[in-house]
Structure 1
Amino acid sequence: MSTWKKLGMGALATGLALTLVGCGNSKSSSSSSSSKMDKTLKVSADPSYKSYMKSVIPKFEKKYNVKVKISYKAMLDEDDALKLDGPSGKGPDVLMAPYDRVGQMASQGQLSTVKLVNGRYNSTGKKSVTYKGKVYAAPVTIESDVLYYNKKLIKNAPKSFTELEKLAKSSKYAYANDKTKSVAFLTQWTNFYNSFGVIKGYGGYVFGDNNTNAKKLGLNNAGAVEGLTYMTKWFTKYWPSGMQNVTSNENFVTSQFTSGKTAAVIDGPWMASTYKKSKIDYGVAVLPTLTNGKDYQAFAGGKAWAISNYSKHKTAAQAWLDFISNDASQKSLYKSASEIPANTVARKSAVASGDDMASAVSKQYDKDVPLINLPQMAEVWTPAQTMVTNAASGKMTPKQAANKAQKTISTNISQKYDN
């Protein structure tokens, strides 16, 4: 998928002025008393943040004497619109973007570099908003695939795929329409956002040099093929054939779990509201270890606040990033939207609250790989999805499917980015 779906230190002391942060500029946001704070700031937020915005905007306006003009637009729609709205002056000064959009938008000159307040984020959070050595956004939330399990069917969360395979062999979880197949454990591995963790855990990778070198691909090395081979085992030995259908398998997974037939599923925190509505008594845990004993290394996703490079109010925009990412603002975000904060202090507070989702996401996030924000990642999602379906259907061997995917990705990147 190109984007998903789905703040330690206190605010700056009153009266401290901020330096202008322009394109290619990463000066401190709390120096230079000669800078004058802008009087207005246009902020775009996703409609799901309305309640949160109502609570934090008045505090920001009072602290910095800046009037915020808030607008609500779906995050991805706003990101897409910036290409035209920014140059015309209609776009916002600050907006939100998923981590994998940050690099793409930065490469197109749409985002300004920003300054992060020291001590607020871990290395994964920083990497998520860094493109070619420069920081282009302030992390806001963290996301990761986790394991959901039905507490009425199993007492504890499976800690390994060996345990999941054992469940799959039980007649208790035989699929209603084909008793030779199992729905004990389900996940949408045809979506590369979910299947990447298996590929990585067995030794494969997307781009070389820790996902910074798009000219070096690792989706058909021995480890990647081993991971793909293991996933194919689930498709052919355990799962109903419908799990290969990329347009309906997600709904199938959800319906089986919410109807109480499936013991465990792997999915993201965005599914929690759906599961709650179904009244399923579920728990949330970190992802099971793979059969080689290695961690299932999912993508560490999330969202960030970014400054439009077209903005004429970058001083106030940087102040917004500093304020919205501080401890108090991030704790408020968790209470208001139930999203896990990227700020390490607020994140610890969320975990300490006893929320098993916060605990699972936080623990898994530390095992994960930063969601790749290189523009070339756009060429990976579809071929990688096809790679899984080609192997799962038996149309190709895992090695053949991996080779084809890597060749397609390499060709597309060469044609679109090397000219």
Structure 2
Amino acid sequence: MTGKKAATILLAASLVASLAACSKSESGSSASPEASQVPSASTAPSASEAPVEEALQPEPGATLKIWEDKPQQSFVEARIKEFQEKYGVTVTFEELPPTDQVTKLTTDGPAGLGADVVVFPHDKVGGAVQAGLILPNDVFAGEVTAANAENAVKAVTFEDVLYGYPYSIETYGLFYNKKLFPTPPTTFDEIINFAKTYNDPKNNKYTLMWELQQFYYDFGFMATTGGYIFGDDNTNKEDIGLNNEGAIEGITFMKSLKDAVLPVKTGDVSGDIKNGLFSDGTLALDINGPWRISEFKEAGVDFGVAPLPSFNGKPMKSFSGVKGYYVNAFTKYPNASKLLAEFLSNKDSQMKNFEMNGTLPANKEVASDPKVTGDPTNQAFLKQFENSVPMPSLPEMNSVWGPITSAISDIWDGGKDVKTSLDTAVQQIKDSMKSSK
């Protein structure tokens, strides 16, 4: 570890400690000392304990700002109105895409201009923590862990400390055209057999597509057979599993699909191209996410969604993402901010978010509610999420995307040897990680 990185981490630790102390003195909270400590992700409150929110109170005169995405505005504004009525804390909404928030918080946080509560994809957690930008989810850790899906909690945890307040999950599944597949295929053998008589590239007729140039989708093949990015559930950056036997087996199978199912180059399968083909009814199967549902409905496609098919006797895994709220480490009102983050992500909020926006819930009770399970599309994505791998939140993931994407291109487009290509990618990743230290 360099001196610069060590100093940054020490500063972040000091900042978290000082804010926690400030929170106690300002709120006059009657919570037990344990409530201010950071519990492990497996800690759960006992049935006899009073609700945490009764013990934690907002600081006198607290006013808050939240950054959120435009599609979430109606939901957030409805809930912050209820929050204000309950706690007497005024909250203002400011539109900012989640993918931009960590970058903006890096400058606006220390300057006192950042939102008190922010939201971003979970793979940004590691970088945000190491930069000292967010506070641990200490007070509500037990109930958040107990209420939400294990994969969702794991995704917003970094180095065994829970930071996030998860509220939605997403992964990809298999969209199928019901006119061509009245019943969705459950194995790749079925897909390969169908392609023998259906594929007609000259007339834009294809059996199956996914975004070949995006490792986000390709990863599912290697993960199914035992490949992984980092060891110990993507927490050990010293252990890279992108070229182990399982990864080689999975990518070898994927490579075989070029001749059998998808005879195109990686650059020929952009999102726009395949979405257009599925909307036109000439693409039978599309590996895609819930973000495309409205587009396909508007196109008038009679489609369904199913979990990904199996190959080599194993159900195909997928990458998954989790959105959650986080508390700005530089907030003047940490108690009020934690209460707001919990309020916007609790069971009632996740149900309202689903009803208003179709947001798939992280909360287990909401996910099992008939309102959610009554839709087969929701069922399919939730089932696939159970067989998914949360994207790594380690900052070292930035070193992975380029080399592994190049390796996939060499394998698919250039017919290069799978093991050699993956070995080269892993060495490039290790070199990049060393140079960034």
TM-score (normalised: structure 1): 0.88
Of the structure 1 ranges 148-157 and 107-116, higher mean CA displacement relative to structure 2 is found in 107-116
Deviation at 1:127, TM superposition (A): 0.7
Deviation at 1:35, TM superposition (A): 7.0
Secondary structure of 1:331's partner?
A: helix
Is 1:132 aligned to residue 159 of structure 2? yes
Alpha-carbon distance in 2 for matches of 1:216, 1:141? 29
TM-score (normalised: structure 2): 0.85
1:280 is matched with 301
Deviation at 1:79, TM superposition (A): 2.3
2:334 is matched with 314
Deviation at 1:62, TM superposition (A): 0.7
Is 1:154 aligned to residue 170 of structure 2? no
Secondary structure of 2:314's partner?
A: coil
Instruction: Calculate the aligned-residue CA RMSD, in Å.
Output: 2.4
Of the structure 1 ranges 24-33 and 340-349, higher mean CA displacement relative to structure 2 is found in 24-33
Structure 1: segments with no counterpart, 5+ residues: 1-14
1:261 is matched with 282
1:293 is matched with 313
Structure 2: segments with no counterpart, 5+ residues: 1-26, 40-44, 46-51
Change (3 A) 1:151 1:18: farther
Q: Could you list the per-position Cα deviations for residues 375-413 of structure 1 after superposition, in whole angstroms to 9, with x for gaps in the alignment?
A: 111111222211111100125211121111111111111
Hey, which of these two has a bigger chunk of helix by percent? 2
Alpha-carbon distance in 2 for matches of 1:72, 1:20? 37
Q: Point out which structure has higher relative CO (alpha carbons under 8 A, 6+ apart).
A: 1
Change (3 A) 1:300 1:34: closer
Deviation at 1:78, TM superposition (A): 2.3
Residue type at the aligned position of 1:259: D
Change (3 A) 1:294 1:251: same
Of the structure 1 ranges 229-238 and 370-379, higher mean CA displacement relative to structure 2 is found in 229-238
2:427 is matched with 407
Alpha-carbon distance in 1 for matches of 2:259, 2:434? 34
1:394 is matched with 414
Is 1:228 aligned to residue 254 of structure 2? no
Change (3 A) 1:264 1:35: closer
Is 1:249 aligned to residue 273 of structure 2? no
| Percent pairwise identity | 29
Change (3 A) 1:382 1:32: same
Alpha-carbon distance in 2 for matches of 1:59, 1:288? 43
Change (3 A) 1:143 1:215: same
Deviation at 1:341, TM superposition (A): 0.9
- Pick the aligned partner of 1:26 from 38, 49, 66: 38
Deviation at 1:17, TM superposition (A): 5.6
Residue type at the aligned position of 1:364: Q
Residue type at the aligned position of 1:349: D
Residue type at the aligned position of 2:291: W
Deviation at 1:349, TM superposition (A): 1.9
Secondary structure of 1:143's partner?
A: strand
- Where do 1:15-414 residues align within 5 Å? 26=38, 30=53, 32=55, 36=59, 39-115=62-138, 116-118=141-143, 119-170=146-197, 172-176=198-202, 183-241=206-264, 243-245=265-267, 249-290=270-311, 292-349=312-369, 352-394=372-414, 396-414=416-434
Deviation at 1:189, TM superposition (A): 3.0
Deviation at 1:117, TM superposition (A): 4.7
Deviation at 1:306, TM superposition (A): 0.5
